[in-house]
Amino acid sequence: MNTRCPFCGASVMPRSRFCPTCGQALPQSPLRRSASTPIANGDPPVEGALTNSKRLQISGDTLDLRELINVVESSVQWWQRGLSSHAVTREQAARAIDELSQIMRSLSQQLAQGRTTIRVTRRLPALRTFDIACPSCGSGNRANARFCQRCGALLNAAPRYGVGFVQSRALKFHIAARTDTGRVRQQNQDAVYTGEIDLPGQQKAHICLVADGMGGAAAGEYASRLAADVSRAYLERESACHPPLTDEAWQALLRDAVRAANRQIYDAARTDTTRRGMGTTLTIALIVGDRLHIASVGDSRAYLLNLDGVTDDGSPAAQLTSDHSLVARLVDIGQLTPEQARTHPQRNILYRSIGTDPSVDVDTRSEALEPGDIVLLCSDGLVNHVNDEEIVQIAFGEPDPDRAVTRLINLANERGGRDNISVVMVRVEGGRNDERRHG
Ligand code: CA
């Protein structure tokens, strides 16, 4: 949702302070939010058209039939495993599978009725689109901007995002991470890691990750630790010698790193009977210069937060990852509300995870970072108890990232702490104007 410049009439983003076309200072936009402004719960539903290619086409996002079949298969297997290990009763499994079949029947009826559109909830929001970084203040700007929308500086020959290995300025990163067993579980099967990777030319990349293991206490702990170790070592090794130069190449490297972890855990689960069926989620954030590269499998989330707005309609929080869980897909097809999904008994069922299959699909994406951003990674133990609005309020209400992470974990524990809780937070601050070219 764009507004217009009162001086020249050009389109401006709701968060802009200066017109990108004429450079005039803009009146304070009413759309800019403060920490106390409440955010509407859930994404607005959009209509998705069913095309001939058997995909549900949802404005920039897709849900295909293979994914739905995976959801059903994973759900049935999950209950089967629960039954054979006596973790659930036969009645519980029967009731859950009956519920699932009713949901699928409702979906098939919608299709049989000849509906060409199915009501779905859009999963990932449209993020702010920045093509160039201002050489003065480091803020992101659109490709056609002549003046910086944040500081009003002329953007002649401003460095472009995502092209080559260009660092327009020295962004500073304050990183905090913590994992907690919670109030109910005996063991912590989550793993977190934060660290630096040395790149050629005295450059450094920051790596942050969260993995949430499953498959019996010791096995789940082993799987999440192995996923963290293998992917971290792979990224360190490969980017030290041959650092990628484009977003696409960084994403390909991340996918290779996650697949290396997948192979090791899959092999370990096959050869060791005590670890059979183990798996883990894995969400990695890699920060190189002012680019954020994300890879994820499972339901551990990555968020981008900024009080000035991170989406084109000015929302201060955007989830950068899809939850590869049964309940997330049920939200997509309109069978559950996001609020129901948070407490749904089948919310732990993943249809994509690391180590459970010989190969794995890995979601990746790249975004521009700017001063004032917060990148937050977390396991589902946080979001089962704490909603996006509360995450924004605590992340920006507490300037010290260590204390902010602790407050988020404390809040999840106060509300029951049903699962292990892991949070990694990266605060992005502007540095001095520092234009260098490496690689
Ligand atoms: Ca968990």
Distance 340 CA to ligand 1 centre (A): 17
Element (H, E) at 74: helix 65-84
Distance 315 CA to ligand 1 centre (A): 27
Q: Widest CA span of the chain, in angstroms? A: 71
The residues placing their C-beta within 5 Å of ligand 1, an ion, are 212, 379-380, 419
Cα–Cα dist 317/163, whole Å: 26
Element (H, E) at 11: strand 11-12
Distance 421 CA to ligand 1 centre (A): 7
Distance 235 CA to ligand 1 centre (A): 25
> What residues contact 7, with CB distance under 8 A and at least 6 apart?
19, 22, 24
Name the burial class of residue 205, with classes exposed (0-12), middle (13-18) and buried (19+) by CB atoms within 10 angstroms of its CB.
buried
Cα–Cα dist 214/385, whole Å: 20
State the helix-helix crossing angle for 401-414 and 388-397, rounded to 10 degrees. 140
The tokens describing 161, both together, are 């995002």
Position 418 scores a pLDDT of: 92
Position 352 scores a pLDDT of: 87
The tokens describing 248, both together, are 């696409």
Q: Determine if residue 309 is left, alpha or beta; phi over 0 gives left, psi from -120 to 50 gives alpha, anything else beta.
A: left
Distance 352 CA to ligand 1 centre (A): 14
Torsion of CA 147, 152, 156, 157, to 10 degrees: -100
Cα–Cα dist 368/132, whole Å: 9
Position 154 scores a pLDDT of: 85
Distance 419 CA to ligand 1 centre (A): 6
Distance 75 CA to ligand 1 centre (A): 16
Distance 8 CA to ligand 1 centre (A): 52
pLDDT in tens, 53-65: 333 333 323 445 5
Distance 312 CA to ligand 1 centre (A): 31
Distance 224 CA to ligand 1 centre (A): 11
Position 123 scores a pLDDT of: 52
Query: Can you list the positions of beta strands (E) in 128-189?
Result: 132-133, 140-141, 166-169, 172-180
Cα–Cα dist 220/222, whole Å: 5
Distance 190 CA to ligand 1 centre (A): 7
Position 112 scores a pLDDT of: 62
Distance 212 CA to ligand 1 centre (A): 5
Where are the domains positioned within the chain? 171-323+346-435
- Residue 118, number of CB atoms within 10 A of its CB: 18
Name the burial class of residue 399, with classes exposed (0-12), middle (13-18) and buried (19+) by CB atoms within 10 angstroms of its CB.
exposed
Vertex 122 angle, CA 99 and 67, to 5°:
50
Distance 145 CA to ligand 1 centre (A): 43
Cα–Cα dist 325/346, whole Å: 9
Q: What is the pTM of this model?
A: 0.76
Q: Can you list the residues of the chain whose pLDDT is less than 70? A: 1-2, 28-71, 99, 102-125, 157-169, 217, 333-334, 431-439
Element counts in the chain: helices (H) and strands (E):
9, 21
Distance 232 CA to ligand 1 centre (A): 21
Distance 38 CA to ligand 1 centre (A): 27
Distance 250 CA to ligand 1 centre (A): 27
Is residue 12 within 8 A of residue 149, CB to CB? The reply is yes
Distance 85 CA to ligand 1 centre (A): 19
Distance 73 CA to ligand 1 centre (A): 20
Distance 173 CA to ligand 1 centre (A): 27
Position 260 scores a pLDDT of: 98
Q: Which residues of 414-433 are buried (b: 16+ CB within 10 A; e: fewer)?
A: eeebbbbbbbbbbbbebeee
Position 20 scores a pLDDT of: 87
- Residue 143, number of CB atoms within 10 A of its CB: 10
- Residue 197, number of CB atoms within 10 A of its CB: 20
Per the DSSP assignment, residues forming a β-bridge with 367 are 292
Distance 169 CA to ligand 1 centre (A): 37
Q: What are phi and psi of 363, to 5 degrees?
A: -80, 135
Nearest to 307 by CA among 181, 199, 391, 242: 391
The structural architecture, per CATH, of the domain 171-323+346-435 is 4-Layer Sandwich (3.60)
Distance 262 CA to ligand 1 centre (A): 18
